[in-house]
């Protein structure tokens, strides 16, 4: 592939000037040489005429009154002397009045030269008008040729030197001008690359260029001042933008129109498990989730294939999974104030808890449906049997049927109450609190579950470490919370075991602690972290008792949300569990937003 060199207008003008000056100098040189040659030829011809006339006069004088034989000899001698004295004279020839040759002599030294000029003069005696003959002189022109050659060479040399000086002056002047232009071009490049404040030296430049350089330096200084002010404003706005972006609770990833990540906040780094240095200036499609999938690639392609006016109104939403976390991703286009598309923003929302809640809710609905179906089925079966065949049963059998029906009704009532209590406690309604005695509440709760303990020969003991004063709390909700603890302890305690209720009052902290300890199978640490979560139930070989999964969550909501207290659990597998709560004894404002 050949490189094409393009000539600028300035270069064309320089070349045209050199060519024009060359043509003019050559024309002037040819004209001068032609005129000089012409003048030389004219002078040489006049020189020949002078010689022939002089020779004619001399010949007439020296042959006057001489006989014919003497005349020829005299002319010969005279001619030979003249031929020997001048190499440029080729021959001399004398003729009489009738044109007959009297004498003809040639120059031996000039015999090789050609005769270029012939000059003839008449032989006329003094006082006579009619010529007695003529003399012809032949000149070779060698002298004039030498003079012409020397003159041409000199003129050509002079004009060549003049042309070289002229061309040198033009080139030097062009170099100086282009040098100044290159300096200015270099300065403009510096400005174009953002190096505002760059100055051009004004030494050794023409006055016009110096004024131009000074104007450039003034412009550069003004741009530098403007840049500093603008950069400060831009940095302030950028810092504000980054501060807002970094403080957003959700993850945010900003990509340019080439899919390169240009900004990522700390929450996005945590969600995607990457560092800023790893993610910046990389293409978002290259990100791989914990399953080894390029989770953003297909969605980015879908985003690019969708018209901007559509995607602006309805951003693309999808879920990705990173380290067992479900992350909702929303891709939205990004525009300038002038509505120019510059890239897109990906908002990352941690939906793990919501996904777990959906899963738990589905499990809860399934459990509740199953739990409700069982007592309803039992009730319907037993009632139908009593209705149709009651007369055939004896009294003990009827009592057994009625007892079973009563237990299923109690069970059904408990589940319905859990659901109702959950709905009521979740609402932002304040529970009415009164001055109550926590010791009285504990005794009544122990009596309520006394029937359940007798069925399995369990003992309930109350260990009062210190006596608390009466304080403000909602009696029914705290009673229900403690009853829930006791019911769970009874469910999971072995037969003939012991359940302890511990009561402790801290005067320094103004807190009352109530705990229920059992000798059951215990709970592993991973389940302890979620045991108070909504709908959460421990499902394993040991914990097989069915339920709604709302009991402990209702206790947590009652204690923490409506009383400003705390719940806790201490358990070790195989060594029982201790569930408890702590209530403040001073009046606290409703903490409905907790």
pLDDT of the residue at 212? 78
Is 287's pLDDT higher than 90?
Answer: no
- Using one digit for the tens of pLDDT, what is the confidence trace for 155-191? 778 878 888 887 788 778 777 777 777 777 777 887 7
pLDDT of the residue at 543? 44
Structure tokens at 582: 């702590």
What CATH number is given for 9-147 in this structure?
3.30.450.20
pLDDT of the residue at 1? 42
Q: Percent of the chain at pLDDT above 70?
A: 83
Number of CB atoms found within 10 A of residue 329's CB: 21
**What is the rounded average pLDDT of the residues 573-591?**
79
Q: Higher confidence at residue 245 or residue 526?
A: 526
Q: Residue 534 pairs with which residues in a beta bridge? A: none
- Give 4's pLDDT tier (boundaries 50, 70, 90): very low
- Give 5's pLDDT tier (boundaries 50, 70, 90): very low
pLDDT of the residue at 360? 64
Give the Cα separation of 504 and 527 in Å (integer).
27
**What is the rounded average pLDDT of the residues 307-325?**
85
Q: For the CA atoms of the chain, what is the radius of gyration?
A: 64
What CATH number is given for 250-350 in this structure?
3.30.450.20
Residue 549 backbone phi and psi in degrees, to 5:
80, 15
Kindly provide the b/e burial profile for residues 181-206, where b requires at least 16 CB atoms within 10 angstroms of the residue's own CB.
eebbeebeebbeeeebebebeeeebe
- Give 437's pLDDT tier (boundaries 50, 70, 90): very high
Q: Higher confidence at residue 495 or residue 534?
A: 495
Q: Higher confidence at residue 415 or residue 274?
A: 274
- Using one digit for the tens of pLDDT, what is the confidence trace for 501-526? 999 999 889 999 999 999 888 888 88
SS3 call for 156: helix
To which H or E segment does residue 435 belong?
Answer: strand 434-436
pLDDT of the residue at 473? 92
**Which whole-number Å values give the CA distances from 294 to 264, 288, 304, 351, in the listed order?**
18, 5, 16, 20
CATH class for the region spanning 363-420: mainly alpha
| Least confident residue range of 266-280, 420-434, 537-551 | 537-551
Question: What is the spatial order of strands in the sheet that 251-256 belongs to?
Answer: 261-264, 251-256, 341-350, 325-335, 316-322
Is 276's pLDDT higher than 80?
Answer: yes
Nearest alpha-carbon partner for 72 in 80, 354, 288: 80
- Give 361's pLDDT tier (boundaries 50, 70, 90): low
pLDDT of the residue at 366? 62
Residue 113 backbone phi and psi in degrees, to 5:
-85, 150
Q: Where are the domains of the chain?
A: 9-147, 250-350, 363-420, 429-584
- Using one digit for the tens of pLDDT, what is the confidence trace for 108-147? 665 556 667 888 888 877 666 778 788 888 887 777 777 7
Residue 289 backbone phi and psi in degrees, to 5:
-80, -175
**What is the rounded average pLDDT of the residues 546-574?**
81
Residue 134 backbone phi and psi in degrees, to 5:
-150, 160
- Give 370's pLDDT tier (boundaries 50, 70, 90): low
| Least confident residue range of 253-267, 345-359, 435-449 | 345-359
Instruction: Please report the beta strands in 51-172, taking only residues with DSSP state E, as ranges in sequence order.
Output: 89-96, 101-106, 117-123, 133-139
Give the Cα separation of 134 and 138 in Å (integer).
13
Is 228's pLDDT higher than 60?
Answer: yes
- Give 371's pLDDT tier (boundaries 50, 70, 90): low
What CATH number is given for 429-584 in this structure?
3.30.565.10
| Least confident residue range of 129-133, 234-238, 265-269, 376-380 | 234-238
Q: Higher confidence at residue 360 or residue 507?
A: 507
Is 61's pLDDT higher than 90?
Answer: no
Q: Higher confidence at residue 242 or residue 40?
A: 40
- Give 542's pLDDT tier (boundaries 50, 70, 90): very low
Report the chain's mean pLDDT, rounded to a whole number.
79
What are the residues whose beta carbons fall under 8 Å from the beta carbon of 150, sequence distance 6 or more?
none
- Using one digit for the tens of pLDDT, what is the confidence trace for 181-224? 777 777 788 777 777 777 877 776 667 677 777 888 888 888 77
- Give 154's pLDDT tier (boundaries 50, 70, 90): confident
Are 9-147 and 429-584 in the same CATH fold? Answer: no
SS3 call for 363: helix
pLDDT of the residue at 182? 78
**What is the rounded average pLDDT of the residues 283-297?**
84
């Amino acid at each position: 592939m050949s490189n094409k060199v393009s000539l600028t207008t300035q270069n064309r003008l320089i070349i045209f000037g050199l060519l024009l000056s060359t043509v003019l100098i050559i024309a002037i040189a040819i004209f001068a040489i032609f005129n000089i040659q012409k003048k030389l030829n004219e002078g040489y011809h006049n020189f020949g005429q002078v010689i022939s006339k002089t020779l004619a006069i001399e010949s007439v004088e020296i042959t006057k009154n001489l006989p014919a034989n003497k005349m020829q000899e005299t002319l010969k001698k005279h001619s030979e002397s003249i031929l020997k004295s001048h190499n440029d004279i080729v021959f001399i020839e004398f003729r009489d009045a009738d044109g007959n040759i009297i004498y003809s002599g040639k120059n031996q030294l000039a015999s090789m030269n050609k005769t270029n000029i012939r000059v003839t003069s008449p032989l006329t005696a003094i006082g006579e008008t009619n010529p007695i003959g003529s003399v012809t002189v032949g000149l070779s022109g060698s002298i004039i040729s030498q003079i012409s050659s020397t003159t041409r060479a000199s003129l050509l040399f002079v004009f060549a030197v003049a042309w070289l000086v002229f061309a040198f002056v033009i080139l030097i002047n062009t170099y100086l001008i282009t040098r100044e232009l290159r300096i200015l071009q270099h300065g403009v490049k510096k400005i174009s690359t953002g190096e505002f404040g760059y100055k051009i030296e004004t030494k050794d430049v023409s006055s016009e260029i110096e004024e131009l350089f000074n104007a450039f330096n003034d412009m550069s200084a003004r741009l530098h001042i403007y840049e500093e002010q603008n950069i400060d404003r831009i940095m302030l706005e950028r810092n504000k933008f980054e501060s807002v972006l970094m403080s957003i609770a959700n993850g945010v990833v900003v990509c340019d129109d080439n899919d390169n990540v240009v900004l990522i906040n700390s929450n996005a780094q945590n969600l995607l498990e990457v560092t800023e240095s790893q993610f910046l200036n990389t293409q978002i499609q290259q990100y791989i989730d914990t399953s080894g999938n390029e989770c953003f690639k297909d969605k980015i392609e879908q985003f690019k294939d969708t018209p901007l006016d559509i995607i602006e109104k309805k951003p693309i939403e999808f879920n990705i999974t990173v380290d067992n976390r479900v992350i909702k991703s929303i891709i939205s286009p990004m525009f300038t104030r002038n509505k120019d598309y510059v890239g897109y923003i990906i908002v990352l929302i941690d939906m793990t808890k919501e996904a777990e809640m959906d899963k738990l809710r589905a499990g809860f609905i399934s459990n509740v449906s199953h739990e409700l179906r069982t007592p309803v089925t039992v009730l319907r079966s037993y009632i139908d049997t009593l209705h149709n065949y009651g007369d055939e049963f004896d009294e003990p059998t009827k009592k057994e049927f009625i007892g079973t029906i009563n237990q299923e009704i109690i069970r059904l009532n408990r589940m319905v109450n859990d659901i109702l209590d959950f709905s009521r406690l979740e609402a932002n309604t304040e529970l009415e609190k009164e001055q109550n005695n926590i010791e009285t509440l504990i005794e009544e709760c122990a009596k309520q579950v006394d029937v359940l303990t007798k069925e399995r020969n369990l003992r309930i003991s109350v260990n009062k470490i210190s006596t608390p004063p009466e304080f403000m709390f909602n009696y029914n909700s705290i009673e229900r919370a403690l009853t829930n603890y006791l019911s769970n302890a009874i469910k999971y305690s072995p037969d003939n075991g012991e359940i302890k209720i511990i009561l402790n009052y801290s005067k320094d902290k103004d807190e009352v602690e109530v705990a229920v300890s059992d000798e059951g199978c215990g709970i592993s640490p991973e389940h302890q972290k979620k045991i108070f979560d909504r709908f959460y139930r421990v499902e394993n070989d040991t914990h097989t008792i069915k339920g709604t999964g709302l009991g402990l969550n209702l206790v947590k909501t009652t204690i923490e949300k409506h009383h400003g207290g705390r719940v806790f659990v201490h358990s070790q597998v195989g060594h029982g569990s201790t569930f408890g709560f702590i209530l403040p004894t001073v009046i606290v404002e409703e903490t409905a937003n907790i």
